[in-house]
Amino acid sequence: MNSNNYCIIMAGGVGSRFWPLSRTNMPKQFLDITGSGKTLIQQTFDRFSKLLPRENILIVTNELYKNITIEQLEIEDRQVLCEPMRKNTAPCIAYANFKLLKENPNANIVVAPSDHLIKNEAEFLRVVQQALDCSASNDVLMTIGIKPSRPDTGYGYIQASNETCNFPEIKKVKTFTEKPELKMAKIFYESGEFFWNSGMFFWSLKSIMSAFDDYMPSINKLFSTHFDKLGTDREADAVAKIYSQCRNISIDYAIMEKADNVYVLCADFGWSDIGTWGSLYANQRKDINKNAIVGNNVFLYDVKGSEINVQPQKLAVIQGLEDMIVVFTNDVLLICKKDEEQKIKDFLNNVKMEKGDKYI
């Protein structure tokens, strides 16, 4: 394994769209939400540990989740970077950059979310290795574009040009487009030039630090001012000061949509951004009635096309539902139409207003 290769796993989200299973004190990345026997972050960590040293994997998460991260991944304290507040992905990545600057200025980096589902792991590992090889020897900022299987409005899109970067599968990015309307998504899908934005990134530390200097210098300046405190007992206070002044901005807006050395590696390895109950349902095994079931004590009668998630200590007997989401936790029962799951956010807000944070 190349000791200069590092992985930054972003794991600070709260996964509110997976309420009531995902809670503030235990968000979805730390749950076995697919019923596989491993949590989403454990699956992500295990994949990357096959390509690079375990000690070279850093987790950026909220300070609330430090202990559960160390417990689930069995890693050292130094591998967990604790954000004092959520400020989107640009400050998150900058924090990791400056930590690596102290540890290994020659670092070659892959950045990945903690909660993606990968079906074809062998192809995924091949693609990641190719991307790391490219970023190690070229001044590029690279992402992985997923070949779309449908005109989905839930993903951002990347348009690839014909210009390549020493690897035929790696092409210069022509445009980024945020989540489109269905009509435009169909045009993107049919053109063959557009790919889903996976949210995974590859670059050398030198390239990404230079990009921050060019396009988001204020963030680099903040971290540079407190650089001497990183890796000491003063780090937490320093990072709190930095984050209180950092702009809340994604790496896409801050860097990727502005830089002129942005490339995309077009791939297809059974990827899914498990962001909603609907996306989870689409990627689960179904029974003969097209129900996706997680739970050991579930009895269904005349139930079709539904997402059923029942905690192990609960028993559920359900009759006569079709195309529904049913989630039964220790203290909350959610029953919702599958095609109206966007209302879960409203349900969550109403519960918080009426009951406080107890069920959040």
> Is the pLDDT higher at 245 or at 162?
245
Q: Are 230 and 132 within one domain? A: yes
Lowest mean pLDDT among 164-168, 216-220, 319-323: 164-168
Task: Assign 106 to helix, strand or coil.
Answer: coil
Span of 146-150, 315-319, 320-324 with lowest mean pLDDT: 146-150
Q: Lowest mean pLDDT of 113-122, 195-204, 276-285, name the range.
A: 276-285
Q: How does strand 80-83 pair with strand 57-62?
A: parallel
Interval 325-343: pLDDT, tens: 999 999 999 999 998 888 9
Is residue 153 scored above 80 in pLDDT? no
What pLDDT, on a 0 to 100 scale, did the predictor assign at position 333?
A: 96
Same-domain pairing of 86 and 217: yes
Last residue of some domain: 223, 258, 273? Answer: 273
Q: Please indicate, yes or no, whether residues 257 and 295 belong to a single structural domain of this protein.
A: no
* Span 164-195, pLDDT tens digits: 877 778 999 988 888 878 888 888 888 878 88
Residue 111: what pLDDT? 97
More confident residue, 93 or 342: 93
Tell me how crowded residue 333 is: count the other CB atoms within 10 A of its CB.
12
Number of domains in the chain: 2
* Cα torsion 326, 68, 49, 78: sign: positive
The per-residue pLDDT for 278 is 85
pLDDT above 70 as % of the chain: 100
- Same domain for 151 and 199: yes
Within-domain flag for 47: yes
> Helix 40-49 to helix 121-137 angle, to the nearest 10 degrees?
60
Question: From CA 349, how far away is CA 343, in angstroms rounded?
Answer: 10
Contact 2, 108 (CB under 8 A): yes
Q: What's the pLDDT score for residue 162?
A: 83
Q: Do 199 and 304 sit in the same domain of this protein?
A: no
What pLDDT shows up at residue 85? 93
265 and 295 in a common domain: no
Model confidence at 249, in pLDDT bands (50, 70, 90)? very high
Which residues are CB-neighbours of 74 under 8 A, at least 6 positions away? none
User: Is the domain of 53 the same as that of 158?
Assistant: yes
**CA distance linking residue 128 with residue 126, whole number of Å:** 6
Q: Is residue 312 domain-shared with residue 330, that is, in the same domain? A: yes
Tokens of 234: 């003063």
> What's the chain's average pLDDT?
92
Contact 267, 146 (CB under 8 A): yes
User: Could you tell me the CATH number of the domain that includes residue 176?
Assistant: 3.90.550.10
Residues 262, 305, single domain; the answer is: no
pLDDT of residue 242: 97
Residue 92 has pLDDT above 90, yes or no: yes
**Chain CA centroid to CA 238, Å:** 26
Residue 360 lies in a domain: no
Same domain, 254 and 311: no
What is the pLDDT, as a whole number, of residue 337? 94
- Residue 147: the pLDDT is 85
283: containing domain: 277-355
